Amino acid sequence: MPLSLHHVPRALTWHPETRTLRIIDQRRLPEALVERELCTIDEVDDAIRTLAVRGAPAIGVAAALGLVASAAREAHPTRASIIAAIARLARSRPTAVNLPWAMARMRQVIDAGDADGALLLDALAAEAARILAEDIAMCEAIGRHGAALLADEACVLTHCNAGALATAGIGTALAPVYAAMAEGRRVEVIACETRPLLQGSRITAWELQRAGVPVTVCTDSMAASLMRDGRVDCVLVGADRIASNGDTANKIGTYSHAVAARHHALPFYVAAPSSSIDAAAPRGSAIVIEQRDADEVRRVGDRALAPADVRVHNPAFDVTPAELVTAIITDRGIRRPPFRFTA
């Protein structure tokens, strides 16, 4: 039976009548499904920084909608206070290009005229709604294009979470899986656990099970042996930023899978919306890699996994060079090497 896309969970919901933004708090998964309402810039900023809402497309959308939700609850929002909020949210996380991209669009609304008060808020709400709708449409387009790459009974290995919980729609890397299954093809997914924050085992496995997609969790170090044993047909991952030459930044550990896929002659696909392409970055070395707190590696909850004072290397992302990428799937179609993205 074809998969129903109605079963795919949504990372965030927007209620335009009340200008209310609600998110699934992804820090609580898979133990509990908890929704939070974000009403202030402090709450939006904290949700993005602490990964309550995460994924390059989702944080861009959440920042735009959260900006509106916060301004709507202020007694007297001013152009200056909204501009300051835009600048703050744009700095919440440095690697994903969608965040400053979305905030630049909101700033353009302010710079385009001299409206203030309710009229300015209406204009910002309209632009945020467009960003939301565009992301949903981009996910559907990625799904349509990418589904053509997945044969019946394909086994897809993925890393981190680039599914519905990383976007406003049905995802980026998981969108082709959902689209292929909606067309009646059988697809299964191997989700790498994705240390240190376990977004694969905690979030991707939860999302896929909830949607009705067969999923198996493996540790990150098991992926290469699964490829060797013929258990994997392709690797399909997302991207937080794509340089103009096709180098891609994604969750730490992605590069290792790309190297292993090349060694085992497997396709390595990257799926991302066109808004994740940073034509101003000539190559991956120009992408700023976020460094996160050492305790994400030292601890899981209250349990110590390493000595308290041991030095820790904890980049959130790594860069996969373009020569290891078989194809990049965007809402505009499938691009193959040589890559050259322009503004």
| Residue-level pLDDT at 77 | 80
Residues 124 and 246 grouped into a single domain = no
Residues 150 and 119 grouped into a single domain = no
| E strand or H helix that includes residue 35 | strand 35-38
- Final residue of a domain: which of 140, 162, 187? 140
The number of beta carbons lying within 10 Å of the beta carbon of residue 179 is: 26
**One pLDDT digit (tens) per residue for the chain, 343 residues:** 688 888 899 999 999 999 999 999 999 999 999 999 999 999 999 999 999 999 999 999 999 999 999 999 987 788 899 999 999 999 999 888 899 999 999 999 999 877 677 889 999 999 999 999 999 999 999 999 999 999 999 999 999 999 999 999 999 999 999 999 999 999 999 999 999 999 999 999 999 999 999 999 999 999 999 999 999 999 999 999 999 999 999 999 999 999 999 999 999 999 999 999 999 999 999 999 999 999 999 998 889 999 999 999 999 999 999 999 999 999 999 999 999 998 6
Residues 117 and 156 grouped into a single domain = no
**Residue pair 316/302 in contact by the 8 Å Cβ criterion:** no
Residues 250 and 203 grouped into a single domain = yes
290 three-state secondary structure: coil
Residues 135 and 177 grouped into a single domain = no
| Residue-level pLDDT at 343 | 64
40 three-state secondary structure: coil
Report how many domains make up the chain: 2
Residues 176 and 280 grouped into a single domain = yes
Residues 114 and 262 grouped into a single domain = no
341 belongs to a structural domain: no
**To which residue do tokens 């729609």 refer?**
169
- Final residue of a domain: which of 86, 121, 140? 140
Residues 46 and 173 grouped into a single domain = no
343 belongs to a structural domain: no
Note if 240 is an active site residue.
yes
Residues 152 and 194 grouped into a single domain = yes
| Residue-level pLDDT at 1 | 66
Catalytic residue among 45, 233, 240, 278: 240
226 belongs to a structural domain: yes
Residues 183 and 226 grouped into a single domain = yes
pTM of the model: 0.94
CATH at residue 70:
1.20.120.420
Residues 130 and 244 grouped into a single domain = no
Supply the DSSP string of 312-336, one letter for each residue. ---BSEEEE-GGG-SEEEETTEEE-
Bridge-partner residues for 242, per DSSP?
248, 277
Residues 11 and 27 grouped into a single domain = yes
342 belongs to a structural domain: no
For residues 328 and 317, give the distance between their C-alpha atoms in angstroms, rounded to a whole number. 18
| Residue-level pLDDT at 117 | 79
Which structural domain range is residue 206 located in?
A: 145-335
